[in-house]
């Protein structure tokens, strides 16, 4: 291939999957393949709802459109462009959310019995991956901010201690940035890990913008991490469920592809794939301007909320050089306890009384997701609703639960606990037993209990309180979360 041909193919102005779909539409090919709705004609109701444009490109893999499981043409080119845009050696298009990218990272790095060092405040997808592959978690307990009640990043001394105590660990997983915007010292973690021949895997679900914006915390690939899972559908603008799995040069991408194909659909959605392709092009060409606008908007809302009194919209002032090494200013996290309301209560009031849907509310905080799609008048509505909530519903904060990080007592591996013989007990009778399932509030989806962990009275109280306050709880087999599955005889 000649040089100018390579540079044409790798031009960020291109979107090969999107271009192939445009060509495909012109050809009016007669479909005797799946999907059976045949460009929507077989399902008029669906077509009326989603539109002809949309169902017309809901097609299956075919020669001119490549195949997600074994890309050789347009998907391969689109993946190369994504890798280039994100500064990665390789990138895979993922159509089952960042969950599948996280699973791809963990299963590529670890086999049954291998150790992986990670903070406990990870998303459920990480511990799910441990259930799937049988790796053993070595938790680095995160520090917490006692006022905000949130878990912070990984401190270097804690990571170092975990490495020294577990020199046989295969990888370190870092959650960066956290949902609340907290960043760890990724560069130092990578240096430490590589010195001890461990891979660094970054759950970067909340960090797509770090690759394109200016004056934001360092991205995983720029810090030299080996793999990263990036939710393009969060700050990147693509359709829900579409994500990227990024790899550095040390990772065998062929093997990682085999791992991903263990659980990946053989019918990858071209709606999702084209949305990734188009969004990558948009970010590569316009990302700097987009995220400068998002930052400016988030800073504006933060300063307005802080002037209301009572609320604390936190930011870079939290930086401490270690467990809060940096802060992602595009995140609008607001502490609410000082107005006498739990975050989840403010969340409910915003939705029920003001028709405002925010990302989540937990025990002490809310998180409003700010993006380039927000209009000034929308953020003004949020600010005035918060002001009114404080005036009408604010009260003394005594009696409010403060959210705390609960140090897990790991008794056995997530995989062993998940598949072991178990019994179902009323939650109140489970103290002292070993849980065999997950319990979490979603979002943020960080397990309060994971399979293999000891249940304590403190945890039961925390679950009951979260339920009472209206947190949306998920995980256990019993959807009401009145019973929990525990290991039999343990």
- 3-state class of 119 per DSSP? strand
| Residue number, 163 or 446, with CB nearest to ligand PLP | 446
Helical ranges in 28-65 per DSSP H: 44-50, 52-56
Q: Is 150 in the site for ligand PLP (CB under 6 A)?
A: no
Q: Determine which residue in the list 16, 71, 97, 414 makes contact with ligand PLP, applying CB under 6 A.
A: 97
Q: Is 213 in the site for ligand PLP (CB under 6 A)?
A: no
Tokens of 38: 């045949």
**Alpha-carbon gap, residue 404 to 468, rounded angstroms:** 17
Q: Determine which residue in the list 86, 93, 179, 405 makes contact with ligand PLP, applying CB under 6 A.
A: 179
| Residue number, 121 or 430, with CB nearest to ligand PLP | 121
| Residue number, 40 or 142, with CB nearest to ligand PLP | 142
Among positive and negative, which fits the CA dihedral 216, 217, 220, 223? positive
Beta carbon of residue 471, minimum distance to ligand PLP (angstroms, whole number)? 15
- Which residue number is nearest to ligand PLP in terms of Cβ? 97
Q: Is 98 in the site for ligand PLP (CB under 6 A)?
A: yes
Q: Please measure the distance between the N-terminal and C-terminal CA atoms of the chain and give it in whole angstroms.
A: 63
| Residue number, 129 or 251, with CB nearest to ligand PLP | 129
Q: Is the peptide bond before 444 cis (omega within 30 degrees of 0)?
A: yes
| Residue number, 182 or 386, with CB nearest to ligand PLP | 182
| Residue number, 149 or 444, with CB nearest to ligand PLP | 444
Q: How many residues bind ligand PLP (CB under 6 A)?
A: 15
Tokens of 77: 């080119």
| Residue number, 136 or 203, with CB nearest to ligand PLP | 203
Q: Is 175 in the site for ligand PLP (CB under 6 A)?
A: yes
**What beta strand segments (E) does 248-331 contain?**
312-313, 326-327
Q: Is 177 in the site for ligand PLP (CB under 6 A)?
A: no
Helix (H) / strand (E) element for 462: namely helix 457-469
Binding mask 394-433 for ligand PLP (x = CB under 6 A): ----------------------------------------
| Residue number, 39 or 124, with CB nearest to ligand PLP | 124
- 3-state class of 489 per DSSP? coil
Select from 97-105, 298-306, 396-404, 428-436 the region that touches ligand PLP (CB under 6 A): 97-105
Q: Determine which residue in the list 66, 203, 226, 437 makes contact with ligand PLP, applying CB under 6 A.
A: 203
**Alpha-carbon gap, residue 239 to 234, rounded angstroms:** 9
| Residue number, 97 or 361, with CB nearest to ligand PLP | 97
* Contact (Cβ atoms closer than 8 angstroms) between residue 469 and residue 344: yes
Select from 31-39, 94-102, 137-145, 419-427 the region that touches ligand PLP (CB under 6 A): 94-102
Select from 48-56, 217-225, 442-450, 463-471 the region that touches ligand PLP (CB under 6 A): 442-450
**Alpha-carbon gap, residue 173 to 150, rounded angstroms:** 19
Q: Determine which residue in the list 90, 108, 121, 125 makes contact with ligand PLP, applying CB under 6 A.
A: 125
| Residue number, 87 or 443, with CB nearest to ligand PLP | 443
Select from 208-216, 248-256, 443-451, 454-462 the region that touches ligand PLP (CB under 6 A): 443-451
CB-count exposure of residue 165 (10 Å: 0-12, 13-18, 19+)? exposed
* Contact (Cβ atoms closer than 8 angstroms) between residue 184 and residue 176: yes
Q: Determine which residue in the list 142, 217, 361, 445 makes contact with ligand PLP, applying CB under 6 A.
A: 445
Q: Is 180 in the site for ligand PLP (CB under 6 A)?
A: no
Residue from 90, 58, 85, 89 nearest 71 by CA: 90
Helices then strands (H, E): number in the chain? 16, 20
Sequence-distant (6+) residues with CB within 8 A of 49 are none
- Running DSSP on this structure, what letter comes out for residue 453? B
Binding mask 237-276 for ligand PLP (x = CB under 6 A): ------x---------------------------------
- In DSSP terms, 131 is beta-bridged to none
**Alpha-carbon gap, residue 182 to 319, rounded angstroms:** 9
**What beta strand segments (E) does 120-180 contain?**
136-140, 144-145, 150-151, 171-175
Q: Is 231 in the site for ligand PLP (CB under 6 A)?
A: yes
Binding site for ligand PLP (CB under 6 A): 97-99, 102, 123, 125, 175, 179, 203, 205, 231, 243, 443-445
């Amino acid at each position: 291939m000649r040089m100018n041909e390579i540079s044409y193919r790798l031009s960020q102005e291109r979107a090969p999957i999107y271009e192939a779909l445009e060509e495909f539409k012109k050809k009016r090919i007669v479909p005797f393949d799946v999907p059976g709705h045949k460009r929507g004609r077989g399902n008029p109701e669906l077509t009326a709802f989603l539109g002809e444009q949309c169902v017309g490109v809901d097609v299956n893999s075919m020669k001119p459109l490549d195949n997600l499981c074994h890309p050789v043409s347009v998907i391969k080119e689109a993946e190369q462009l994504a890798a280039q845009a994100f500064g990665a050696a390789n990138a895979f298009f993922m159509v089952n959310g960042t969950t599948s990218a996280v699973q791809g990272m963990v299963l590529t790095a670890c086999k049954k019995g291998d150790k992986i060092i990670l903070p406990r405040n990870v998303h459920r997808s990480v511990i799910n991956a441990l259930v799937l592959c049988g790796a053993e978690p070595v938790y680095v307990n995160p520090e917490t901010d006692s006022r905000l009640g949130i878990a912070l990043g990984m401190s270097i001394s804690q990571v170092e201690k975990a490495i020294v105590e577990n020199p046989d660990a295969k990888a370190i997983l870092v959650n960066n940035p956290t949902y609340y915007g907290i960043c760890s010292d990724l560069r130092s973690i990578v240096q430490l890990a590589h010195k001890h021949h461990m891979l660094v895997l970054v759950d970067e679900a909340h960090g797509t913008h770090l690759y394109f914006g200016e004056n934001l915390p360092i991205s995983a690939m720029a810090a030299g991490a080996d793999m990263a899972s990036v939710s393009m559908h969060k700050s990147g603008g693509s359709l829900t469920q579409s994500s990227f799995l990024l790899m550095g040069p040390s990772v065998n991408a062929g093997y990682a592809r085999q791992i991903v194909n263990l659980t990946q659909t053989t019918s990858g959605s071209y709606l999702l794939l084209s949305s990734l392709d188009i969004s990558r092009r948009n970010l590569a060409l316009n990302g700097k301007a987009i995220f400068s606008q998002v930052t400016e908007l988030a800073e504006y809302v933060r300063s307005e909320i802080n002037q209301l009194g009572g609320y604390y919209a936190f930011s870079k002032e939290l930086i401490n050089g270690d467990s809060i090494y940096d802060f992602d200013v595009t995140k609008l996290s607001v502490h609410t306890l000082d107005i006498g309301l739990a975050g989840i209560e403010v969340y409910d009031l915003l939705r029920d009384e003001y028709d405002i849907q925010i990302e989540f509310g937990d025990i002490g905080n809310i998180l409003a997701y700010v993006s380039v799609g927000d209009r000034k008048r929308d953020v003004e509505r949020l600010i005035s609703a918060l002001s009114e909530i404080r005036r009408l519903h604010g009260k003394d904060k005594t009696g409010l639960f403060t959210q705390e990080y609960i140090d897990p007592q790991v008794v056995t591996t997530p995989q062993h606990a998940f598949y072991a013989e178990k019994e179902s007990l009323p939650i109140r009778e489970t103290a002292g037993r070993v849980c065999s399932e997950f319990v979490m509030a979603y979002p943020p989806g960080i397990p309060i209990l994971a399979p293999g962990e000891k249940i304590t009275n403190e945890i039961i109280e925390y679950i009951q309180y979260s339920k009472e306050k209206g947190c949306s709880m998920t995980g256990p087999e019993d959807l009401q979360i009145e019973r929990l599955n525990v290991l039999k005889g343990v």
